[in-house]
Amino acid sequence: MSSPVPTTRAPSAGHRRFLVRLTVISTLGGLLFGYDTGVIAGALLTMPEDLGLTTFQTATVVTVLLLPGAALGALLAGRIADRLGRRSTLIICGAVFLVGALGCALSPGFLSLVAFRFLLGLGVGAAAVICPVYLAEMAPKDARARMVTINELMIVTGQLLAFAVNALIGATVEGQGVWRVMLGVAAIPAVGLLIGMFLLPESPRWLSLEGRTDEARTVLHRCRTVEQADRELAEVKHLADEDRGASRASVRQVLRANPWMRRLLWIGAGLATVQQATDINTVNYYGTTILEGSGLGDQAALVSTIAIGATSVTMTILGIWLLGFVSRRKMLLTGFVGVAASQAVLAAVFLLPQSTFRSYTILGAMIVFVAFVQCFIGTGIWLVLAEIFPLAIRGFAMGLSVFVLWTVNGLISFAFPPTAATLGSTATFGLFVLINTASIVFISRFAPETKGHSLESLEEHLKTPPGGIPAVAGGARAA
């Protein structure tokens, strides 16, 4: 039975404090996601020489976190979260991050480093799936965009933290083993996530799907007024009753019986693909190497990446603000147009003769590129992925989409160095201009508009055949 609660008509300060605490703790998974993917840029300056790594081994150390690590973690996390719950899965993520960070820092050689980077990848992939889902299912409708996109802010904050820690450690710690300190710092937020999630409740939507209605009501009362909680629980329970049988059937049976779910699954995979096809992670993983190769020294390259990280954080905050009144589709279309244009400029800059001016112009073009990705695309796509899938397959569908995301990420990250070496930087970035132009076509034809709906009303709308979904948010129609 739920405990007595006040019957105020407006959310109380206690409700708001609970949501803030929940958001900060759960998005430590996003912070670790960002740190563990960004820290490798600085570690690569000393790690290969310290461990005697070949070029192939170095690429393996970078890529194993993404593929198969994060890709497999994403694929497994959705099913684990559907079976054990969102909260329990994030607790597991915290333990994985802690062991992985300490293992990487203490690795004696290539094989152990690859093993622990793979383990970290499992945590990164799982956190990328479950953090947005948990936030979307906990958030009130009018706060959902803000809460979910805070996770994206924490991802880029984690990357900025990695760049800043790399620069600080690079300037203050001597020796080839400096990379161990860089990687080991991730253990600190991992402890915060592991302990903090024990203090938070399970998602009320997952509890309702499991038939634990009284527990779901108690959780909703912690972050809604009585009227809001009861109204929302009625909607959740209605769809949970419909979806419970489907959730216990095999995913193949559910998707075979529901063509509209299959369509959303393909759209989710497409959104994940175009997000990574921006080539943003080339900057995250190889930005320091690119800038060093353009003529900057090691320390100048490390410090310059802080500007990239600061841009990511600033523009993500701007993107969160814009999502309050700009439709998701407009955000995405603006982002991809800006990315294609800035990459065209970046491709042209590499034709300039080598000089300090050229180095800092490349840095400037990279910053503009990052600004468009983080403001319009990063915030928008992670939010839409957390919104569009029905409750019955949400964990699986989100997991599959993020599996696709990390697979594309890993393939691009592994292919970028040899592609740039073979074609040259200008042709390589020109290729990405063409890819992102194709992404604009995909977004305009298939991306659904989700602004202005609760998760339950959105699920009802997305059952409508293509072209039949009512316009929402500025007249954009969901496909």
d(CA 342, CA 344): 5
pLDDT given for residue 6 in this prediction: 43
Query: Which tops the pLDDT comparison, 137 or 173?
Result: 137
pLDDT given for residue 362 in this prediction: 81
Band of residue 223 on the pLDDT scale cut at 50, 70, 90:
confident
CA angle 403, 415, 149 (to 5 degrees): 40
**Averaged pLDDT, 10-20:** 78
Band of residue 8 on the pLDDT scale cut at 50, 70, 90:
very low
CA angle 5, 137, 221 (to 5 degrees): 0
Structure tokens at 349: 């800059």
pLDDT given for residue 93 in this prediction: 93
pLDDT at 455 over 60: yes
pLDDT given for residue 437 in this prediction: 94
| Secondary structure (DSSP) of 366-390 | HHHHHHHIIIIIIHHHHHHHHHHS-
d(CA 310, CA 162): 11
**Residues 180 and 188: beta-carbon distance below 8 Å:** no
Highest mean pLDDT among 162-176, 288-302, 422-436: 422-436
**Residues 348 and 195: beta-carbon distance below 8 Å:** no
d(CA 420, CA 409): 16
Please write the tens of the pLDDT for every residue from 336-392.
Answer: 999 999 889 888 888 888 777 887 888 888 889 889 998 999 888 888 887 888 877
Please write the tens of the pLDDT for every residue from 177-201.
Answer: 788 988 999 999 999 999 999 999 9
Please write the tens of the pLDDT for every residue from 53-88.
Answer: 887 888 888 888 878 888 889 888 888 888 899 999
Backbone torsions φ then ψ of 472, nearest 5 degrees: -140, 155
pLDDT given for residue 191 in this prediction: 94
The type of residue at 478 is: A
Asked if residue 470 has a cis previous peptide bond (ω within 30° of 0), the answer is: no
pLDDT given for residue 454 in this prediction: 65
**Residues 2 and 229: beta-carbon distance below 8 Å:** no
Structural domains of the chain, with CATH: 13-200+249-477 (1.20.1250.20)
Please write the tens of the pLDDT for every residue from 297-315.
Answer: 666 666 677 787 788 889 9
**From residue 239, how far is each of 84, 345, 457, 459 by CA, in Å?**
20, 49, 10, 9
